[in-house]
Each structure stands twice: as C-alpha cells, then as structure tokens.
Structure 1
Amino acid sequence: MSTVNKFVEMYANHSALQGTRGRKLIDLAAPESGEHVVDIGCGTGQLTYAIASRVVPGGVVYAVDPDPERLAYARANLPAELKNIRFLNTRAHELGEIPEASIDLVFSNYVFQWIEDKAVALREVGRVLRPGGRLVMEVVGKIIDIQNEISMLAGEEGRTLTRRFFCPNRDEWVAILNDAGFEIEHADWPLLDFDYANLDALFEWWEGTTHGLFKRSAISSADMERLRADYPGRIFFQRNAFVGVARRPYTLRGPHP
C-alpha cells in the first residue's frame, strides 16, 4: 500500500508482541455474541476484527483511534464479512458519539500509557459502560533503558517522547481505577520478553509504535556509530505490564472526591 504512512506500515509489520498480548487480552475479556464493545486505540485493526467476529450476531464494536492514518489502514483492510464495526477518529476522553450506559465491554491494549489525564479518560469509560460493564486493559509498565537511551539521542522530539509516557505501577493502577469508581476483578503485573534481531529491528518497532515521534534519522552519525558498537546483534529486554479487569458497579458510586 504505497499511499499508507510509513509509520503505520512499520507498526503493522513490527507489532507482533502487542498482537500476541492483545489476543490473550481478548480471551481474558471474553466478548460474547450481542455485546457492544469499545476498542480504545484500535490502531491498524487486527484486534478489533477479532473482537467483532466474537460478538456476532447482534454485537457492535466501536473502533476508536486518534490517528486518522491508522484508522484508514484499519478501514482499508476490514474483512468483507465484518459489518459490525463503527470507526471513530477520536480520543479516549471524547466518546460523545457513544450513548451513555450502552457498552458492555471497553477494551484497550497498550494505549493508556499515552494518556496523561487517566482520570478524565476513565470518567468517560465509566459513562459509556452499562452498570456491570467491564473495562479490560493492558498497558506498558515503564519505559526501558534502551528505549529511553535512543529517544534521548533523537533530538528534542525524541526527548519529549520520553516525557509522554505516563506509566503507573500495579498498585498505582489499582488506586486510579478505584478512585474512578471501578471495582477491580483482576490486577496483574506480568514480566514480558522483548526480543529484536538487531538495532534496526528495534528502531522499526519504536518508530512505528510511537507514530513516528521517534525518528532514528535525528540521531547523529557519531551517536549511531556508538549505538551500533554497543548493540551489535540481538537485543533482548524484559518489561512489566499492567493487566486489569475492572467493572462499573451496578450502583455507581462515582469517582472519589
């Protein structure tokens, strides 16, 4: 697809881990026929398609993403048999097109680390969920040293990127969800493996997953030479994630003051 933004293609081609984790998260969420679902941060759409296929007949999936180019990619690659996806170019805290208390499941895979004001987004999630409806999410636990290192070398835009990750730990997430009025059913903090064949593969993934906010071209030739000397082959690291299932109570108590 020559007209597709190159960073969208990078993400589509180098997001295997997010895809694998997302499929596990779908199993945890267990969407059922007839349910209405919001997929926050649907990206290139593969997980959205999987959810949509599980909620037929009668179910609907709202595919939400603020990146119009990822959303266009998801539309363009939509399987012909799926007629139950509604694409919304908006953000997690701006779901006004979705009626109040109309959603059974809000699903989000590796998105909430980008959201600075999580309380505002969670208020909107609570608004659209039916009483008893569930939020199922997985999110980055923290930015890893090598991600921080290469970002800091990529000019001011790269340095700004490291400040855009807002990554609470497990206990902080439990508190945030409780304060937003949710009842916690599941809160896990798994340690995940990240494995890249070489530095270029890591660059491809990081450029794609950050929507091009990180640009390896901004790294000086001297710094790039040093990076290649420091990381001559396979790059492996581990990072925690937060996996949570939280419900809107049947009697909504609202966020804590």
Structure 2
Amino acid sequence: AAAAGAAGAGAARAAGAAAGADAADDAALVAHYADKEFEYGFASTCKMVLPASELKGKKILDVCCRRGKGVFKLSSMAGNGGGVIGVDWSAAHLAEARDRMERAWRDSGLARNNMEFRAAYPEDLIAAGIGTSTMDVVYVNSVNTLFFDTARALREFGRVLKPGGLLVFETVLADRERDDDVVAAARELGNCIQAARTRQENEAWLAAAGFGEATVVESYAVEASRGFKPGSTVDVVPGDEDVRYEAVSLYVSKL
C-alpha cells in the first residue's frame, strides 16, 4: 500500500510538472507573438504559387492571413462549393479582413460568402476550433521562419489536414547550418530570411509532422536584407555574411 501510495504521489508530481511545463510553454507562445505583426519585411511577401485547378470546392486554411488579401484570392479559387478560413494572431488585422470580406466575395462573383476569419497562433490552431483532418489545403507564407516553434506549427498543419491533403509551404532555406545566436537576433529583428534554417532541417520537421517528400514549384535567391518588395531593405545581423538564402514554394502532401 505504501509503495502504491508513493507511486501515486510520483505520478501526481510528474503530471503537475508536465502541466507546469505546458503552462510555461503557452505563456512563452503568447509572449513571442505579443505586438508582432512582421510588417514590411520579406515575411509580408506572399508569392502564392497555387495549384488553382485543384482548389475548387476545397476547404482551405490560410495561416497568418494578416488583412485577408490571400484569403480573398483563395476564396475566389475555392468557389461556391469550397471555403476558406484565415487565421492570424493580430486582432487589428482580423478586424480589417472582416471589414473587407463582403466586398471581396461579391467582387469574385460568388453566390455567397465562403470565408471566415479566426484568431489563432500557428502552433495552436485547435484554439480557433480547427479540427483534426478537416482541411484539404493549408497555405502558409515565409513568415514561418519567425514562428515561435516551426516544428510544432508544422505538426499542427499536419493535424488539421485530411490524409492526402496539401500543404502549400512558402519558406526560406539557408545553404548551411546556422549560428544560433545570429538566428535568434534575426528573429528579434523580424528578418525572416536571415532566420532561415537548412533544407535538411525543414525536411526533418515535415517528416516528423507526417508529410511526404516536398516538391519545389518555385525557387529564387534572396539577400538577407531584402524587404517586402524589390528595392526595399531591412536590417540584418552581422556574423553570417557567407550564408546564401533561397526562397522556395513547396507542395507537400500529408501521408
């Protein structure tokens, strides 16, 4: 009985420690995104190289949708038989997107509104009511290198996608392993290019999240200082001037 009691107490302590760790992680998640909108850097760029013919009638999730421009484009492609959910952590961005929503679906010639906007962090889509295996397509742009936890976010994308569902993944890849201090400083600056990790690291995260092999549908070299449009620049962190960066658009299917 004493042994059973000790075991029970140990389990309770372990459960309490796990709950405390989860609470601390959640607090860190909220703190990471507080007051962050990642405006005017390359993270604001959405190439949206999309398989238009495959989106009709689909249920699509746009992660970090900002003011809704990408959702409006996806909405038109999904058509009357499909639907789009845009998620973002910025209340101001979501309010602006909702204000523009009705005009957007009418301008697209749709019979009804097929989109909605919800508040969520990329790592915690369930908080916005995005259920498991409910989405046909997830789209995310190059802001992903600035996520609180890219690997965790990719697991969430895998969770919400149906088997065989498509992740349209815009990101930046570095040509070599990175100095962690430089990456951390770049993330604080909001420089999503200089915060990039290698192709191998991204492929490992995708595999762990239940995705198959990625297909590169577009790629081009980018400088660490590139801003949200050609000719604009952002601050960079010294220390890895020899690193080369490649912006890529990937299609990756959930296994």
**1:107-146 paired onto structure 2 within 5 Å:** 107-141=139-173
Counterpart contact for 1:101–1:131, Cα < 8 Å: yes
Name the CA shift for 1:120/1:15 in 2 (closer, same or farther; >3 Å). Answer: closer
Deviation at 1:81, TM superposition (A): 5.2
**What is the one-letter code of the residue matched to 1:171?**
Q
Deviation at 1:166, TM superposition (A): 4.1
**Whole-angstrom CA distance in 2 between matches of 1:159 and 1:31:** 34
**What is the one-letter code of the residue matched to 2:45?**
Q
The alignment status of 1:49 with 2:78, answered yes or no, reads no
Once structures 1 and 2 are overlaid, which stretch shifts more, 122-131 or 79-88?
79-88
Deviation at 1:79, TM superposition (A): 4.5
Q: Secondary structure at the match of 2:197?
A: coil
Q: Of residues 36, 45, 48 in structure 1, which corresponds to 2:59?
A: 36
Q: Secondary structure at the match of 1:111?
A: helix
How big is each residue's C-alpha offset from its partner over 1:196-239, in whole Å with a ceiling of 9 and x where there is no partner? 55xxx546xx8xxxxxxx9xxxxxxxxxxxxxxxxxxxxxxx95
Q: Of residues 121, 125, 133 in structure 2, which corresponds to 1:91?
A: 121
**Whole-angstrom CA distance in 1 between matches of 2:219 and 2:150:** 19
Corresponding residue of 1:72: 95
**Whole-angstrom CA distance in 1 between matches of 2:169 and 2:187:** 27
Work out the percentage of aligned pairs sharing the same amino acid.
28
Counterpart contact for 2:71–2:86, Cα < 8 Å: yes
Aligned length, in residue pairs: 192
- Structure with greater contact order relative to length (CA < 8 Å, sep ≥ 6): 1
Deviation at 1:246, TM superposition (A): 1.3
How big is each residue's C-alpha offset from its partner over 1:164-197, in whole Å with a ceiling of 9 and x where there is no partner? 8742122221222112221024146521474655
TM-score by length of 2: 0.62
How big is each residue's C-alpha offset from its partner over 1:63-95, in whole Å with a ceiling of 9 and x where there is no partner? 011111122222222242521111011111211
Q: Of residues 82, 90, 94 in structure 2, which corresponds to 1:59?
A: 82
Corresponding residue of 1:242: 248
Deviation at 1:30, TM superposition (A): 5.0
**Whole-angstrom CA distance in 1 between matches of 2:54 and 2:74:** 7
| Structure 2: runs of 5 or more not aligned | 1-35, 106-112, 175-184, 237-243
**1:162-173 paired onto structure 2 within 5 Å:** 166-173=195-202
Corresponding residue of 1:101: 133
| Structure 1: runs of 5 or more not aligned | 1-6, 143-156, 207-213, 215-237, 250-257
Select the structure of larger CA radius of gyration. 2
Deviation at 1:59, TM superposition (A): 0.8
Once structures 1 and 2 are overlaid, which stretch shifts more, 72-81 or 47-56?
72-81
Counterpart contact for 2:52–2:77, Cα < 8 Å: no
* CA RMSD in angstroms, aligned pairs only: 3.7
Q: Secondary structure at the match of 1:37?
A: strand
Counterpart contact for 2:173–2:248, Cα < 8 Å: yes
The alignment status of 1:174 with 2:203, answered yes or no, reads yes
